[in-house]
Amino acid sequence: MLSRIERGLVSPSVETLDRVAQGLHVPISRFFGDQARRTDFCHVPAGQGVVVDRIGAVADYRYELLGHLLSGNLFAEPYLVTLLPDAEAYVTFQHPGLKFLYFLSGEVIYRYGTKVIEVKAGDSLLFDATALHGIEAIQAQPVSYLSVVFTLRE
């Protein structure tokens, strides 16, 4: 049946499209969108990210949202994180998704589960964010890093 649909020999029913969408783990609307005309695009000029108060945010960790898209199955949250002068270590971040960190300045001791690593400007980390993680110690300030969390939309 899939081959016949792909070759344009049959027009599938809505029920068939729904079953195919479920099998591919995509919304049925994916079959009706014009991918060539997608307008998902975000440009944030330098210094113009939106400073946000995140639920559960740690005191003196400043989060600047660097982009936002409304469609697709993958949700990405890019932030510029800056530790303010009174920021303290915090190692109990834990949430769904994958996390990518790229350190722009400073030096820290970073904990991921039972692993502890020294991190400095230019270093990056990529990990499953469901494990406990965070900055265990601040070695040299100022500390700033790019943080991008990737999760699937439900």
Q: Is the pLDDT of residue 100 over 80?
A: yes
**Are residues 147 and 93 both part of a single domain?**
yes
d(CA 117, CA 107): 11
Q: What is the DSSP string of the chain?
A: -HHHHHTTS----HHHHHHHHHHHTS-GGGGTS-GGG--------TT-PEEE--TTPPTTEEEEE-----SSSEEEEEEEEEE-TT---EEEE--SSEEEEEEEEEEEEEEETTEEEEEETT-EEEEETTS-EEEEEEEEEEEEEEEEEEEE--
Structural domain boundaries, residue 15 = 2-33
**Are residues 22 and 59 both part of a single domain?**
no
Quick check: is 45 in a domain?
no
Of these ranges, 32-46, 52-66, 89-103, the one predicted with the greatest mean pLDDT is: 89-103
Residue 52: partners with Cβ closer than 8 Å, 6 or more residues away: 63, 64, 65
Quick check: is 44 in a domain?
no
Q: What is the CATH number of the domain that holds 96?
A: 2.60.120.10
**Are residues 13 and 71 both part of a single domain?**
no
CA dihedral sign, ordered 42, 35, 77, 111: negative
Quick check: is 89 in a domain?
yes
What is the residue type of 56?
Answer: G
Structural domain count of the chain: 2
pLDDT for position 113: 96
**Are residues 102 and 135 both part of a single domain?**
yes
Q: What is the pLDDT of residues 16-40, one digit of tens each?
A: 888 888 888 888 877 776 665 566 7
Quick check: is 43 in a domain?
no
pTM above 0.85, yes or no: no
**Are residues 70 and 104 both part of a single domain?**
yes
> What is the mean predicted confidence (pLDDT) over 44-53?
88
